[in-house]
């Protein structure tokens, strides 16, 4: 009985998590269309004919006081794909700004693959769990 309850909880978490990913990913793209970060807008203007599409953003780091000195290691990073060159160059361009104002630009083709694979997996799982209601957890004691 506990196995059935834990399986139902797992399927519910999977269902909600994958559905949330399918909603959040396009929401991030829409957010990026209306809110380009300050360092990103000046850098992306160099790629004028391309349309930048925000696919990820994060704020990470640490802010602490040690020995009377303030250490600020925080940074903001945004990942963009450039459309239509994404079909030729299969990569995400990351623009990272540190707390001291330094801007670092990196390109990564592997994260684009992982991002696409994750989105496809969430699309399949959501389709199986929401659109196909035939998946049920059956106890060994219950007749099938």
Return all residues near 111 (Cβ < 8 A) that are at least 6 apart. Answer: 56, 79, 92
Q: How far apart are CA 144 and CA 140, in angstroms?
A: 9
Please choose, from the candidates 30, 109, 32, 23, the residue with its C-alpha nearest in 3D space to the C-alpha of residue 78: 32
**Total domains in the fold of the chain:** 1
Average pLDDT over residues 115-124: 91
Percent of the chain with pLDDT over 90: 7
On whether residue 87 sits in a domain, the answer given is yes
Average pLDDT over residues 34-63: 80
What range defines the domain where residue 29 resides? 2-131
Q: How far apart are CA 47 and CA 52, in angstroms?
A: 8
On whether residue 136 sits in a domain, the answer given is no
On whether residue 142 sits in a domain, the answer given is no
pLDDT of residue 50: 85
On whether residue 139 sits in a domain, the answer given is no
Q: Work out the pLDDT band at 117, boundaries 50, 70, 90.
A: very high
Give the position of tokens 């060994």.
140
Give the strand pairing for 69-72 and 75-83. unpaired
- Coil, helix or strand at residue 73: coil
pLDDT of residue 140: 61
Average pLDDT over residues 132-139: 58
On whether residue 103 sits in a domain, the answer given is yes
The kind and range of the H/E element at 58 are strand 51-60
Q: What is the pLDDT of residues 65-113, one digit of tens each?
A: 777 777 777 788 888 888 888 888 888 888 888 877 788 888 888 888 8
pLDDT of residue 137: 56
pTM beyond 0.75, yes or no = no
On whether residue 29 sits in a domain, the answer given is yes
């Amino acid at each position: 009985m506990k196995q059935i309850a834990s399986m139902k909880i797992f399927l519910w978490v999977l269902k909600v998590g994958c559905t949330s990913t399918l909603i959040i990913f396009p929401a991030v793209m829409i957010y990026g269309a209306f809110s380009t970060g300050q360092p990103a807008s000046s850098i992306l203007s160099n790629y004028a004919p391309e349309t930048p599409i925000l696919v990820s953003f994060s704020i990470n780091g640490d802010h602490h006081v040690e020995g009377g000195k303030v250490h600020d290691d925080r940074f903001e990073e945004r990942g963009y794909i450039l459309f239509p060159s994404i079909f030729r160059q299969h990569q995400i361009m990351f623009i990272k700004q540190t707390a001291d104002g330094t801007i670092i630009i990196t390109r990564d083709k592997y994260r684009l693959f992982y991002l696409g694979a994750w989105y496809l997996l969430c699309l399949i799982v959501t389709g199986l769990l929401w659109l196909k209601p035939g998946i049920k957890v059956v106890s060994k004691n219950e007749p099938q």
